[in-house]
Structure 1
Amino acid sequence: MSRPGLRERKKQKTRLALIDAALDLFAEQGYDATTVDQIAAAVDVSPRTFFRYFATKEDVALSLDADGHEILLAELAARPAEEPPFTALGRAMNSMITILEQGDTADRSRFLKARELIEATPALFAGGVRMMMQNERLLVAEIARREGMSPDDLLPHFVVSLFTSAIRVGLEACGSGEINDLSDLTRHVERVLELAERSLRPGWDRPAPGDGTASGAGPGSGSGEGTAGDGGAGRTG
């Protein structure tokens, strides 16, 4: 992959500076008390420049989550077609976290700081839930594509809903003081995904043979292709 040009590097530097300034101000004086003007002033840019990067202060606070969702969707699309849906989602999530771990210390610290803020701020928590619901639709569409099903079928919706619920449980630890670095978060999310898979029968996340809809697919209806009991969402792919 070619290195971004100078203009793109400058834009990325400004974007990260705005995120860092916003997170610092939110932590110091509270999310509600912080204004866009203050964030822009902290980076020595105009509010107009801020709005070139973010539509609102909520957007800047949730921007790293939005980046993560984009990575997750791309990683899911790249998973082998033969992987059961829940396994593919879990391994895509692991790949996303690995990408975050491979960033520098500032990247990892920024992500955890943003997650702690979201968990502690009702307005941002609600915004994060809305974002997750929007991204669920994209994940449903990708799971349906992989399985040769319609996005309107029940099974893709159920698989994605279970996955995002498990991730929600994993991310809640960011606001509990249990998470000190990204590796702690990685292990916690992996444990939640493994628990979810151990709770379900093999094949639950695949349509029944000869059935192109979710109506005939349920726990125990698959052909055993799934790996619910083998830790399939674990960090092996």
Structure 2
Amino acid sequence: METVGAAEAAPRPGLRERKKQRTRDALLRAALELFTTRGYEQTTVDDIAEAVDVSQRTFFRYFPGKEEAAFAVQDMVEEQFLESLRARPPHEAPLEALRRAVLDNWDRIGEAIMSLVPLELHLRMFRAIESTPALLAAHLRRSVETEEQLARLLAAREGLDVDTDPRPRLLTAAFGGVMRVTGRQWSTSEDLSLEGIRALTAAYLDQMGPALTGNWRATGPSGSGG
């Protein structure tokens, strides 16, 4: 009987975990909806909790604060990008590995995002981050942390000491700058889609080398007509 009882009890942790995940997903969706419609500064934790009919205490079980909720989907996107980079073939040059990893990530990230929130909501939140000073400041701070992760990953991949060889940090700083310019440009465009930001990312990464080493007066950027 004890064995049967244990077997019957086994599914319960799974059910609890699924309920917790549903609560977290509901809080996340409510937070992003409020941030993108009411405004980040105008939205309180109580507002988010009330929208899901839970207590403030329940919100804090899942998120340390509003900022973590605002960046939860983006954190997942960046983690998948890091996984894509780790999986790149070792023969690829560092910049090529970064380029292919980020483009491959945009190719497959839609389904992962939609497992958390509607894709359209995530893209609206992306724009809100760019247009909200407090969120933009947090985004820049987080970008610096991500660039350090990338530098250390590239250094390990190439067999370098990141603290004595400046190349991994130089490359990731340049790459991070391209990604920030891409995000800023996309956030003011009319094409609110993953395809749009992917195409812009590819175009801007292709301009990285010419922008750093080319003669700007001799030729204009690709596609500019210059």
TM-based fold match above 0.5: yes
In the alignment of these two chains, the number of paired residues is 197
Correspondence for 2:52 among 16, 19, 43? 43
Asked if the contact 1:40/1:47 (under 8 Å) is kept, the reply is yes
Q: Which runs of 5 or more structure 1 residues have no equivalent in the other structure? A: 202-237
Correspondence for 1:182 among 169, 182, 194? 194
Correspondence for 1:54 among 63, 69, 78? 63
1:116 aligned partner = 127
Could you list the per-position Cα deviations for residues 104-129 of structure 1 after superposition, in whole angstroms to 9, with x for gaps in the alignment?
49542132021011011000000011
Q: RMSD across aligned C-alpha pairs, in angstroms?
A: 1.9
SS at match of 2:202: helix
Residue identity matched to 1:171:
G
Asked if the contact 1:140/1:156 (under 8 Å) is kept, the reply is yes
Residue identity matched to 1:101:
G
1:168 aligned partner = 180
Asked if the contact 1:173/1:179 (under 8 Å) is kept, the reply is no
Alignment of 1:219-230 (within 5 A): none
Report the TM-score, using the length of structure 2 for normalisation.
0.80
- Residues of 2 paired with 1:151 and 1:32: CA distance? 38
2:28 aligned partner = 19
Residue identity matched to 1:39:
I
Correspondence for 1:78 among 87, 91, 105? 87
Correspondence for 2:137 among 117, 126, 141? 126
Residue identity matched to 1:178:
E
Q: Taking every aligned residue pair, what percent have the same amino acid on both sides?
A: 39
Report the TM-score, using the length of structure 1 for normalisation.
0.77
Could you list the per-position Cα deviations for residues 35-59 of structure 1 after superposition, in whole angstroms to 9, with x for gaps in the alignment?
1011011011111111121111011
Deviation at 1:149, TM superposition (A): 0.4
Q: Which has the larger radius of gyration?
A: 2
Residue identity matched to 1:16:
D
Deviation at 1:6, TM superposition (A): 4.3
1:159 aligned partner = 171
Find out whether 1:141 has 2:185 as its counterpart. no
**Structure 1 residues 8 and 97: CA distance shift in structure 2, 3 A:** farther
Find out whether 1:34 has 2:43 as its counterpart. yes
2:11 aligned partner = none
